[in-house]
Amino acid sequence: MAKEELEIGAISKPRFEFRSFGQDFEEASYLMSRLSVPVPQKVWERESEEIYILSKTNDKNNTKIRDGKMDIKTFVTEVDGLEQWNPLMKGEFPISAEVLKNEVYPAFMVETPAFDKAEYTLEEFLGMIDNNPDLQAVRVRKERYGFMVNDTICEVADVLINGAHLVSINSESTEIEDIKKTMKNLKVEDVENINYLQAIKRVIGWINKPLAN
Amino acid sequence: MTHTVPRYEFRIFGLDEIDSIIDILKKHGVKGKVRNISEIYLMTAGNKENNIKIRNKRLDIKSLVRQENGLEQWNPQEVGVFPLEKYIIKNDIFPALGVEAPALDREVYTLKQFMQELILVDPDIIVALTEKERYAFDFEDCICEYANVKINGAFQKTLAIESENPEAVWNAIKRLQIDKNMENVNYPKALKRVLGLEIDYDINRFF
Q: What pLDDT, on a 0 to 100 scale, did the predictor assign at position A5?
A: 60
| φ/ψ (deg, to 5) at B194 | -70, -40
Position B46 confidence tier, pLDDT thresholds 50, 70, 90: confident
Position A3 confidence tier, pLDDT thresholds 50, 70, 90: low
Q: Is B200 within 8 Å of A166 when comparing Cβ atoms? A: no
Closest CA to A201 of A193, A212, A210: A210
Question: pLDDT tens across A138-196, in order?
Answer: 999 999 999 999 999 999 999 999 999 999 999 999 999 999 999 999 999 999 999 99
Judging contacts by C-beta atoms under 8 Å, the chain B residues touching residue A121 are 207
Nearest CA in chain B to A202: B152
Any idea which fold A16-203 has? Answer: Hypothetical Protein Pfu-838710-001 (2.40.320)
Judging contacts by C-beta atoms under 8 Å, the chain A residues touching residue B129 are 208
- Compute the distance between CA of residue B41 and CA of residue B195 in angstroms, rounded to an integer: 11
Q: Is B206 within 8 Å of A122 when comparing Cβ atoms? A: yes
Sign of the alpha-carbon torsion through A150, A151, A157, A159:
negative
Compute the nearest-CA separation of A1 from chain B (Å). Answer: 43
* Strands B71-81 and B2-3, sheet pairing: antiparallel
Compute the nearest-CA separation of B27 from chain A (Å). Answer: 26
Q: Is B152 within 8 Å of A162 when comparing Cβ atoms? A: no
Nearest CA in chain A to B126: A205
Total-model pTM: 0.93
Q: Is A204 within 8 Å of B152 when comparing Cβ atoms? A: yes
Residue A29, CA atoms < 13 Å, CB-side half-sphere: 16
- Compute the distance between CA of residue A102 and CA of residue B188 in angstroms, rounded to an integer: 38
- Compute the distance between CA of residue A75 and CA of residue A62 in angstroms, rounded to an integer: 8
Return mean pLDDT, chain A: 94
B121 interface with A at CB cutoff 8 Å = no
Checking if the pLDDT of B205 tops 90, the result is: no
Q: Which of A123, A133, A139 sits opposite B207 (nearest CB)?
A: A123
Compute the nearest-CA separation of A44 from chain B (Å). Answer: 22
Question: pLDDT tens across B115-151, in order?
Answer: 999 999 999 999 999 999 999 999 999 999 999 999 9
Element (H, E) at B191: helix B187-195
Mean pLDDT within B62-82: 92
Size of interface A-B (CB pairs under 8 A): 77
Structural domains of chain B, with CATH? 2-198 (2.40.320.10)
B46 interface with A at CB cutoff 8 Å = no
Mean pLDDT within A63-70: 95
Compute the nearest-CA separation of A106 from chain B (Å). Answer: 22
